[in-house]
C-alpha cells in the first residue's frame, strides 16, 4: 500500500469515527429526551425574540398572543417537534454536523449575538491567543531542556529539573493564578486583574494588540509554569530511554560522531512520541483552560464551557463537545502525516 493510499484510508477511517461518535451522540440525546429540551429551548428563545420584535407594532394583547402562537406552531413544525425523535434523526444529525443548533440561552458575543456559531467563532481566537500560545511555549522550552538534560543524566541540573517537575505538576493552576493576581496585579500593579482589553479598549490596532498581550501575560505565564515541568521530564525520559537502546550503542561503537548519533539515531526515533504529545496538546488547547480562563476572566472556549455547564445550556454544550471531537480527529490525521515524514518505518 502506497503512502497516499494509506493516508487516504486513515482519513476515511477517522471521518467514519467522527460520524459514528456523532451518530451515537444524537441517538443518546434523542432517546433520553435531551434533544427535545434543546429544541424546545431554541423555540422558546426565538419566540421570545419574536414577541419583543412585534410587541411595539401590535397593541391588542389578544392579537399579539395569536400572532405569537402562530409563529410558535411554525417553529415547532420546522424543527419537527411534533414528530418522535427517531423520525427527526437525520435532521438532528445534520444540525449537529454543521453546528446549526440555534441560539444559546444566555451566552452572547460582544456584538450581542447569541447564535452558537457566532459565539464559538468569537471565543476560539481568544483561546488560541492564550492557551495555544502557552502550550506552544511550554513544548518549546520542554523539548529543548528535556533533550539537553537527557544528555547529562544524574547531574545537579537533572535532579533539580526532576524536583521542579514534581512541584510544577502538583501546583493547581487556579491557585497559582490567584497568587499571581494577588502579587503582580494587587500589590505590584504591574498587570491587570483579568479580561481581554482595558476599559475603554485602545482604538489603534497596534495599541490594542499590545493591550491584549499585556492582559495575556499573567495567564500565559501561569499555564507555562504549571505544564512545563511535566513536558521537560517526559521528553527527558523518552530521549534517555532511547539513548540506552542497543542500536544506539552499536552506532557509537562504530565510531560515528556523537552529533550524528544524537540526530539520526536518538532524536529521529524519539520524534514520534514527542510529536504525539505536541500535536495532541495543541489540539487539546483549543478546548481552553476552564479554571485559568475563569480566574482571569478571559473570554475563551474554557470559560464558555464553564458558562454552558453552569447555565445548563444543552445546545451549547453539545456544540462544544462535537467541535472538540472534530479538532481531535483532525489532529490525529495530522499526526499520521507527520509520522510518515519523520519515521521511515511507517513509509515501509
Q: Which of 97, 132, 149 is the last residue of a domain?
A: 97
Residues 169 and 280 in one domain: yes
Predicted confidence band of residue 344 (pLDDT cuts 50, 70, 90): low
Left, alpha or beta for 175 (phi > 0: left; psi -120 to 50: alpha)? alpha
Residues 123 and 75 in one domain: no
Predicted confidence band of residue 178 (pLDDT cuts 50, 70, 90): very high
Using alpha carbons, select from 47, 39, 37 the residue that is nearest to residue 69.
Answer: 47
Residues 147 and 274 in one domain: yes
* DSSP letter (8 states) at residue 257: -
pTM of model > 0.85? no
Residues 172 and 278 in one domain: yes
Phi, psi at residue 115, to the nearest 5°?
-70, 135
Q: 117-128, pLDDT tens digit by residue?
A: 888 888 888 888
Q: Flag whether 17 is in a domain.
A: yes
Residues 69 and 140 in one domain: no
Residues 273 and 216 in one domain: yes
Residues 60 and 174 in one domain: no
For the chain, the 3-state helix, strand and coil shares in percent, each to the nearest 5, are: 80, 0, 20
pLDDT at 240: 87
Q: Which residue has the higher pLDDT, 302 or 285?
A: 302
Residues 261 and 343 in one domain: yes
Q: Flag whether 104 is in a domain.
A: no
Number of domains in the chain: 2
Q: Flag whether 149 is in a domain.
A: yes
Residues 137 and 225 in one domain: yes
Domain residues for the domain of 78 are: 3-97
* Percentage of the chain lying above the pLDDT 70 cut: 95
Is residue 108 scored above 80 in pLDDT? yes
Is residue 348 scored above 70 in pLDDT? no
Q: Flag whether 105 is in a domain.
A: no
Residue at grid coordinates 395569536? 66
Predicted confidence band of residue 345 (pLDDT cuts 50, 70, 90): low
Q: Which of 97, 130, 153 is the last residue of a domain?
A: 97
- Looking at residue 224, which CATH number applies to its domain? 1.10.3720.10
Q: 78-93, pLDDT tens digit by residue?
A: 877 888 877 777 777 7
Residues 260 and 200 in one domain: yes
Using alpha carbons, select from 8, 3, 5 the residue that is nearest to residue 333.
Answer: 8
**Cα torsion for 54, 60, 63, 65, to the nearest 10°?**
70
Cβ partners under 8 Å of residue 143, min gap 6 = 231, 235, 274, 278
Q: Flag whether 111 is in a domain.
A: no
Q: Flag whether 253 is in a domain.
A: yes
Residues 37 and 164 in one domain: no
Average pLDDT, the chain: 83
Helix axes 314-342, 301-310, angle to 10 degrees: 150
Q: Flag whether 103 is in a domain.
A: no
Q: 198-257, pLDDT tens digit by residue?
A: 888 888 889 989 999 999 999 999 999 988 988 888 888 888 888 888 888 888 888 888
Q: Which of 37, 62, 97 is the last residue of a domain?
A: 97
Q: Flag whether 109 is in a domain.
A: no
Cβ partners under 8 Å of residue 254, min gap 6 = none
Residues 48 and 169 in one domain: no
Amino acid at each position: 500500500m502506497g503512502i497516499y493510499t494509506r493516508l487516504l484510508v486513515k482519513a476515511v477511517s477517522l471521518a467514519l469515527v467522527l460520524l459514528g461518535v456523532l451518530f451515537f451522540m444524537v441517538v443518546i440525546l434523542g432517546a433520553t429526551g435531551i434533544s427535545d429540551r434543546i429544541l424546545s429551548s431554541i423555540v422558546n428563545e426565538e419566540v421570545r425574540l419574536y414577541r419583543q420584535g412585534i410587541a411595539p407594532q401590535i397593541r391588542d394583547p389578544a392579537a399579539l398572543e395569536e400572532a405569537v402562537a402562530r409563529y410558535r406552531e411554525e417553529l415547532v413544525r420546522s424543527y419537527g417537534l411534533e414528530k418522535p425523535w427517531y423520525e427527526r434523526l437525520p435532521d438532528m444529525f445534520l444540525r449537529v454536523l454543521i453546528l446549526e443548533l440555534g441560539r444559546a440561552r444566555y451566552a452572547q458575543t460582544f456584538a450581542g449575538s447569541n447564535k452558537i456559531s457566532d459565539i464559538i467563532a468569537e471565543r476560539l481566537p481568544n483561546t488560541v491567543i492564550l492557551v495555544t500560545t502557552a502550550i506552544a511555549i511550554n513544548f518549546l522550552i520542554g523539548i529543548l531542556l528535556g533533550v539537553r538534560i537527557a544528555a547529562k543524566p544524574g547531574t545537579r541540573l537533572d535532579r533539580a529539573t526532576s524536583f521542579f517537575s514534581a512541584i510544577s505538576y502538583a501546583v493547581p493552576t487556579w491557585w497559582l493564578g490567584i497568587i499571581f493576581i494577588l502579587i503582580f496585579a494587587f500589590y505590584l500593579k504591574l498587570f491587570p486583574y483579568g479580561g481581554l482589553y482595558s476599559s475603554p479598549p485602545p482604538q489603534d490596532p497596534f495599541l490594542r494588540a499590545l493591550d491584549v498581550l499585556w492582559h495575556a501575560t499573567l495567564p500565559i505565564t501561569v499555564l507555562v509554569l504549571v505544564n512545563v515541568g511535566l513536558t521537560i521530564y517526559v521528553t527527558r525520559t523518552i530521549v534517555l530511554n532511547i539513548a540506552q537502546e542497543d542500536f544506539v550503542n552499536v552506532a557509537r561503537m562504530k565510531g560515528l560522531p556523537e552529533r550524528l548519533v544524537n540526530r539520526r539515531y536518538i532524536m529521529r526515533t524519539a520524534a514520534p512520541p514527542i510529536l504525539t504529545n505536541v500535536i495532541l496538546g495543541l489540539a487539546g488547547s483549543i478546548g481552553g483552560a476552564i479554571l485559568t480562563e475563569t480566574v482571569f476572566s478571559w473570554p475563551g472556549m474554557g470559560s464558555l464551557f464553564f458558562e454552558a455547564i453552569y447555565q445548563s445550556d444543552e445546545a451549547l454544550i453539545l456544540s462544544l463537545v462535537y467541535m472538540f471531537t472534530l479538532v481531535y480527529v483532525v489532529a490525529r490525521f495530522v499526526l499520521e502525516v507527520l509520522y510518515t515524514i519523520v519515521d521511515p518505518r511507517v513509509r515501509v
